[in-house]
Amino acid sequence: MMGRWVYVVLVISLILSLRNPKRFDTQTITDDELTHPSHELRLEYDYYRDKCPDAEKTVRSKMAQLYSQDKQVPANLLRLFFHDCFIMGCDASVFLDDSNGNESHPIERQAIPSQTLKGFDKINLIKEELEEACPGMVSCADALALATRDGILL
C-alpha cells in the first residue's frame, strides 16, 4: 500500500515538473565573474592565521576529542550548521535564545525545526577554548563552520 502512494506521488511530481519547467535565465556569467565575485564576503581557508594562528588547530583538536566520545557530533553539527545558514545566512542566529521580552520578534532557536537540534553544548565547549586562545577573535558562526567542516573530515 505504501509503495503505491510513493509511486503516485512520483508520477504527480513528474507530471507537474513537465507541465511547468523552470525557466532559466538567459544571462550568461563570464569566467571572470566566477573567479572574482563582486562581493567581498568570501570564505577563506586559514582566515585567522594572523589574528589567531591556533584557531583552526584548536577547533580540530577539540572536534577530535568530542568525536572520540560521541560519533554523532559531526552529524549534529552539520544539521545545526544547515539550520543556521538556511534562514538568513550563516550568522549564528540559531544560537540566540532570548528576544529580550519582545514577543513579536521571533527567535530562531525556539522555532519548531530548531527545537530538536543538538550540538549547542559542543559549540559552547569549542568557543570556550577559542576564547582562551584568543579572546573575542573567532565568531560563533565561524566556530560552528570550522567545527562542522572538521567534524565531516573525521
Q: What is the pLDDT of residues 95-126, one digit of tens each?
A: 887 656 666 666 777 777 778 899 999 999 99
- What total of structural domains would you count in the chain? 2
User: What residue has cell string 545558514?
Assistant: 85
Q: How many H-runs (helices) and E-runs (strands) does the chain carry? A: 6, 0
Residue 79 and residue 145 in one domain:
yes
Residue 41 in domain = no
Contact between residue 85 and residue 140 where contact means Cβ atoms under 8 Å apart: no
- Domain match, 26 and 76 both: no
Does the predicted model carry a pTM greater than 0.75? no
Q: How far is CA 88 from CA 18, 58, 99, 124, in A?
A: 31, 28, 17, 22
36 in catalytic set: no
Distances (CA, A) of 132 to 90, 126, 136, 145: 24, 10, 9, 19
**Residue 93 marked in a binding site:** yes
Residues 135 and 94 in one domain: yes
Task: Point out the catalytic residue in the list 36, 39, 83, 105.
Answer: 83
Which domain CATH number covers 145?
1.10.520.10
What mean pLDDT do residues 12-22 have? Answer: 59
CB-based contact 63:126 (threshold 8 Å): yes
Q: Are residues 116 and 77 in the same domain?
A: yes
Q: Is 33 annotated as a binding residue?
A: no
Please tell me whether residues 65 and 21 are part of one structural domain: no
Residue 78: give the domain boundaries. 55-98+105-153
